[in-house]
Amino acid sequence: MAKILVLGAGISGHTAAAFLKKKLGKHHQVTVVSPSEYYQWIPSNIWVGIGKMTIDQVRFKLKPVYDRWKIEFKQAKATAIFPEGNSESSRPFVTIEYTDQARRGETENVDYDYLVNATGPKLNFEATKGLGPGKFTHSVCSCDHAVATWEALKVCFDRMGKGEKLKFLIGTGHPGATCQGAAFEYALNVAYQIKAYGLQDYAEITWISNEYELGDFGMGGAFIKRGGYVTPTKVFSESIFAEYGIKWIKRAGVTLIEEGVAHYETLDGEMKTEAFDFAMLIPAFAGVGLKAFNKAGEDISAQLFAPSGFMKVDADYSAKAFEDWSVEDWPSTYQNPSYSNIFAPGIAFAPPHQISKPMKSPNGTLITPAPPRTGMPSGVIGKIVALNIVELIQSGKPAIKHKASMGKMGAACVVSAGYGMIKGNAATMTVFPIVPDWQKYPQWGRDLDYTVGEAGLAGHWIKIFLHYMFLHKAKGYPFWWLLPE
């Protein structure tokens, strides 16, 4: 019997665990370790943050699902990996610390034959002083954050209803932050709701971003066919912001937040400030801080993890000039090069480099989005990692058959821009591939037939459809495995 340990129950880890158990059956043991008792469908947090969905519409408890699937669940956080075991045991294991009420603080060593590190990102609010919930800005990065953000937004609506003019600042809260898409759709939804309440004369909404141009989204932007032209997503994004009455500040790295004031540095090296009454700013991401030790107990974290804390996989991490970057640098199996029984799908793997061109201010501050880590690639990668582990176990051969590179797969980002089955709106954006392939598509970097940007009600329907479809799949309801990642 093989033991497979999955760290994390987000989109990637949960998908991997589901397929591992389905394919391996009762003869092998699948264990999931996650610090939260809930699965959450993160793309819908935006709607929690504007009061259109409740927290329980975007999350569910994991244990009943795992009990039904016969997957062992431990509500705990992983703290250290011992891929060679230790002086007492030659079996590899992970040290975990329980987070549930009953066993909080207790530790345990959980051994494994295969390890799936799908721990996702640490929301690194600490990287920007004053940033984040409990300090001076809000977040929609988790459903708990989104609930608190909606409470704060309601207060703003009340104040504007009494005639007060307020300033909203939405965007990225660190010079190297990613996930511009989430902030982008939150800005549009806030603007939509403000207009729906007739309060637009009392609100000034400003987008602040580390992007070189709007529409970069951490993937160097994209080109799309639109109105008889091939245009950059810069035009598409600016057009939507102009339509929704949102101003923007670009090429800005937020470095400090004080009460009601964001301090930022521009690519030109200027230090500026922007006042706000309400701010929702996305933090930088980092690895969750796992440590690794060899059999002798020596710290080998630098061998397993990149300096960012994300795990090294089958990528080309050698330093190269931007012009030499290739889609071949990107990983396709997510297997750790040092320990072949460890995989890191989803957000937990270390990208070989950025996708957007690195830009530094004259002061040396890197003001460039990190690569985006959306749900669709995370689910696909989680699935292929599971299928590869299944084949490794069943065939006993070391060949890795299933591959999924961000340089060869596409992604869809449906940016909600207003809620409602008749009056809703969303910008549907797809890119293929995610990482531009300038060798295969020398003119535009991507396939223009599958790289689109389109606003309309259909986008809202797609986002609603995806919400219910993926929750159906994640809950393991009938025929869940037929639904594509």
Nearest to 381, CA basis, from 353, 400, 409: 409
Minimum separation from the CB atom of position 82 to another protein (A): 31
Nearest to 71, CA basis, from 120, 113, 108, 34: 34
Minimum separation from the CB atom of position 460 to another protein (A): 9
Stretch that binds another protein, among 98-106, 129-137, 341-349, 380-388 (CB under 8 A): 380-388
Minimum separation from the CB atom of position 348 to another protein (A): 18
Stretch that binds another protein, among 88-96, 294-302, 427-435, 474-482 (CB under 8 A): 427-435
What character string, x for contact with another protein (CB under 8 A) and - otherwise, covers 195-234? --------------------------------x-------
Question: Is residue 332 within 8 Å of residue 408, measured between CB atoms?
Answer: yes
Minimum separation from the CB atom of position 227 to another protein (A): 8
For another protein, the binding residue among 33, 110, 411, 435 (CB under 8 A) is: 411
- Interatomic CA distance for residues 139 and 142, integer angstroms: 8
| Using rule CB under 8 A, residue 458 touches another protein | yes
For another protein, the binding residue among 51, 459, 467, 474 (CB under 8 A) is: 459
| Using rule CB under 8 A, residue 432 touches another protein | yes
- Interatomic CA distance for residues 129 and 276, integer angstroms: 16
Nearest to 226, CA basis, from 443, 466, 436, 428: 428
- Interatomic CA distance for residues 473 and 476, integer angstroms: 5
Minimum separation from the CB atom of position 371 to another protein (A): 16
Alpha-carbon Rg for the chain, nearest whole angstrom, is 22
Instruction: Write down the H helix ranges in 364-432.
Output: 375-395
219 vs 304, which CB is nearer to another protein? 219
DSSP run (H or E) holding 301 = helix 301-304
Q: Residue 172: CB partners within 8 Å, gap ≥ 6? A: 178, 179, 180, 183, 208, 209, 210, 211, 254, 281, 282, 369
For another protein, the binding residue among 104, 320, 423, 440 (CB under 8 A) is: 423
Helix (H/G/I), strand (E/B), else coil: 464: helix
Question: Is residue 94 within 8 Å of residue 107, measured between CB atoms?
Answer: no
Tell me the site size for another protein, rule CB under 8 A.
44
| Using rule CB under 8 A, residue 392 touches another protein | no
- Chain residues 464-483 in contact with another protein, contact rule CB under 8 A: 465
76 vs 116, which CB is nearer to another protein? 116
Helix 11-24 vs helix 62-69: angle between axes, to the nearest 10 degrees? 20
| Using rule CB under 8 A, residue 383 touches another protein | yes
Minimum separation from the CB atom of position 22 to another protein (A): 17
160 vs 235, which CB is nearer to another protein? 235
Its sign, for the CA torsion 182, 185, 187, 193, is negative
What character string, x for contact with another protein (CB under 8 A) and - otherwise, covers 436-455? --------------x-x-xx
For another protein, the binding residue among 17, 179, 348, 409 (CB under 8 A) is: 409
For another protein, the binding residue among 50, 199, 384, 392 (CB under 8 A) is: 384
Cα 103 versus chain centre, distance: 29
- Interatomic CA distance for residues 69 and 16, integer angstroms: 13
Stretch that binds another protein, among 99-107, 151-159, 291-299, 461-469 (CB under 8 A): 461-469
Minimum separation from the CB atom of position 231 to another protein (A): 9
| Using rule CB under 8 A, residue 98 touches another protein | no
Q: Residue 463: CB partners within 8 Å, gap ≥ 6? A: 43, 414, 416, 426
Place of tokens 């004080």: 258
Helix 180-196 vs helix 233-244: angle between axes, to the nearest 10 degrees? 30
* 364 φψ region: left (φ > 0), alpha (ψ -120 to 50), beta (else): left
Tell me the β-bridge partners of 93.
82, 111
| Using rule CB under 8 A, residue 430 touches another protein | yes
- Chain residues 232-291 in contact with another protein, contact rule CB under 8 A: 235, 238-239, 241-243, 245-248
For another protein, the binding residue among 401, 440, 475, 481 (CB under 8 A) is: 401
List residues binding another protein (CB under 8 A): 227, 235, 238-239, 241-243, 245-248, 376, 380, 383-384, 401-404, 408-412, 422-423, 425, 428, 430, 432-433, 450, 452, 454-459, 461-462, 465, 484-485
